[in-house]
Amino acid sequence: MTLPISTPALLFPAVSLLFLSYTNRFLHLSALIRQLHRDWLEHDDHLLLAQISNLRKRLVLIRWMQFLGAVCLFLCVTSMLSVVFGWPVLAMSTFVVALFFMAASLAGLTVEVWISGGALRIMLRSLEQSRDEKSRQ
């Protein structure tokens, strides 16, 4: 089976869009962590520490997602160069490995989205506890 040069090139737009999405998520979380840190210094609220811990996990995941996406892109370039130089086995194998890295990056995105709900659950739990305490008084 031969691999046309256009096949690995198809991942370029997808990886570019993923990087844009990942970078936006990273920047948003960084700003949110800075704000929560300022709030924690002012109020010393344990709820804020739980939020920061949740966000720390998400930032680590996003960095891994970016790394895996970068490796995927590098392997796509390697695959395309292998096609140009007439090395079909290397072209096919690097493209397949690139697909695995892309899949791993997307799996990280799925986990990160799931964890992002954790921050909301922390806030909802706090609101419910406050409501229950007020109703008991």
Surface-to-core class of residue 101, CB atoms within 10 Å of its CB (0-12 exposed, 13-18 middle, 19+ buried): buried
Per-domain residue ranges for the chain?
7-136
Mean pLDDT of 90-96: 93
In this prediction, residue 1 has a pLDDT band, given cuts at 50, 70 and 90, of low
69 pLDDT more than 80: yes
State pTM to two decimals.
0.75
pLDDT confidence of residue 94: 94
In this prediction, residue 4 has a pLDDT band, given cuts at 50, 70 and 90, of confident
110 pLDDT more than 70: yes
Surface-to-core class of residue 32, CB atoms within 10 Å of its CB (0-12 exposed, 13-18 middle, 19+ buried): middle
Per-residue pLDDT tens for 43-61?
A: 777 777 777 778 888 889 9
